[in-house]
Copies of this chain bind each other. A is one copy, B any other.
Amino acid sequence: MFRLQDDFTYLMPVHFGGGRFTPDRVVRQRTTTLAMTYETDRGLLEQYIPEGFELISPEVQVIFSKFTEIDWMQGGQYNLVNVASPVRFSGQKDDLEGSYTLVVWENRTAPILGGREQTGIPKIYADIEDLHILRPHYMTNASYEGSTFLNLEFEAEEEITGVEMDAMRSGFSSVNAIGWRYIPKVGAPGAELSQFVLYPQGMKVEHAVAGKGSLKWTTLTPMQNPAQYYIVNSLAALPVEKIKQSVLFEGETFLHAMGARVIE
């Protein structure tokens, strides 16, 4: 019969075996990232920030990344669109600033499962195009079963160097990503498990270009996207008041795969 091993960590299905818990394990991947931050309406955005958090500024950051040479995926790759806002968490024990993850779309299921179940990052599936590159123009989109819901465009303007590059490197070198890990009760309303999880992540920016970014959300009907239409439409309802920063960069991502912790 199958027996759990004490010092192992598992994901479903459990009974084919797990892996030794190795707290110092660092996972790496190459990344090409297009990041945009825009100001929006504070009241509308706060609807989606849970109690216990304070919205530092009414901003939404949308990040497209293409990850390649992912070592924990044996050299595989995937794309994501990460949507987050800057928050302060003031708990019983922890008081910290971070990036509250509103939603992440990924075009590969394996990292979705790990991200949700291990660290509470609310990942869901979408088709996400690789960047189309006709220098200096870049574009990509996210869609669900043929229905476009997000367009991202970027026009590269100038390489980031010097002090500005130092600031950018530093900003991305350690990001306090925060997720809400929530597992429902079986056969009843409410949570069997509900925790906020801090998952520090770092990117080593190697090369960066500033430019003009634009993005467009398109609302969807339930028939177009049954499990996500309300998420898309909630985001589409937030006005894009001003795009503050648009940057494209290449680099490497380092993750302490088991370095997340519950915050209280």
Binding site for B on A (CB under 8 A): 1-4, 6-17, 20-21, 23, 46-51, 53, 68-69, 71-77, 101-103, 108-110, 112-113, 116-120, 122-125, 127-135, 137-139, 141-143, 145-148, 179-195, 197, 222-224, 226-228, 230-231, 234, 258-262
Q: Which residue on chain B has the smallest CB distance to residue A120?
A: B12
Residue from A102, A119, A190 with most neighbouring chain B CB atoms (10 Å): A190
Copy count, this protein chain: 4
Q: Which residue on chain B has the smallest CB distance to residue A140?
A: B146
- Contact pick for A12, options B4, B116, B127, B262, CB 8 Å: B116
Q: A228 contacts which chain B residues (CB < 8 A)? A: 110
Q: How far is the CA of A47 from the CA of B14 in the complex (A)?
A: 12
Q: A190 contacts which chain B residues (CB < 8 A)? A: 4, 6, 8-9
Tell whether A193 pairs with B189 under 8 Å between CB atoms, given A2-B48, A71-B134, A227-B110: no
Asked whether, in the complex, the Cβ of B46 is within 8 Å of the Cβ of A13, the reply is no
Given contacts A73-B226, A76-B226, A117-B117, 19 further A-B contacts (CB under 8 A): A1-B51, A7-B189, A8-B189, A10-B184, A11-B184, A14-B194, A15-B48, A15-B102, A16-B231, A21-B189, A76-B132, A109-B109, A110-B226, A118-B184, A134-B223, A137-B223, A143-B147, A146-B148, A183-B183
